Amino acid sequence: MTPSRVARYIGPSIMASGILTPANQITILRLVFVPIFAALVVERDYRWALVVLVAAAISDVLDGNVARIFHQKTSLGVALDPIADKALMTTAFITLAVRDALPWWLTIMVLSRDVAILLTALLIILAEGYRTFTPSALGKASTAVQMMTIFVAVSHQAAIPLASDLVVKIFIYLAAALTAASGIHYLLVATERYAHKDGDGAA
């Protein structure tokens, strides 16, 4: 079978299976934005980088709403959405640090917190078996402020008047505080649950 025939067969089959729903296509589009954003920041084209960032934020709102309104929630969408969000944020922090738009110490702190969360999830799985993980209010606040810090930093580099140097510094330190607090919180939760499991086993 030729590649063109394979494409004609696989394409409609995927669509018919309900995998590539409109919501999932929007999420995939957000993943496409990641390398585009990185390239724009590396080239210091911050105004277009800001446009891409806004488009990514809109897509983040749209995919969830589309999935709910049209009852198109899928396991692929549930998996892709946080991956797309994390890919964009991680790429943004690294590229902005490379261009000195954000400090490296904040980028390292954010990435370290993500590693801590992954370790926390593994500990909880070891303690309680596989389960879905609901982010804490502190974790959600930390992620929201991190995203706002990226927006403010890019806006500042794009010479947007409201994004002054002072505003950028405020968001940097606020993001650092919440990142540290949420990372410690997740580690404490994991330690408590793992200790509780050991206590039950000893009993």
20-35 as b/e, with b when 16 or more CB fall inside 10 Å? ebebbebbbebbebbe
Distance CA 201, CA 59 (A): 46
**What's the whole-model pTM score?**
0.82
155-199 per-position pLDDT tens digit = 999 999 989 999 999 999 999 999 999 888 887 877 776 666 655
Dmax (CA) for the chain in angstroms is 63
35-85 per-position pLDDT tens digit = 999 999 999 999 999 999 999 999 988 988 888 888 878 888 788 888 999
Distance CA 115, CA 60 (A): 23
Residue 176: per-residue pLDDT = 97
Domain ranges of the chain: 1-87, 100-203
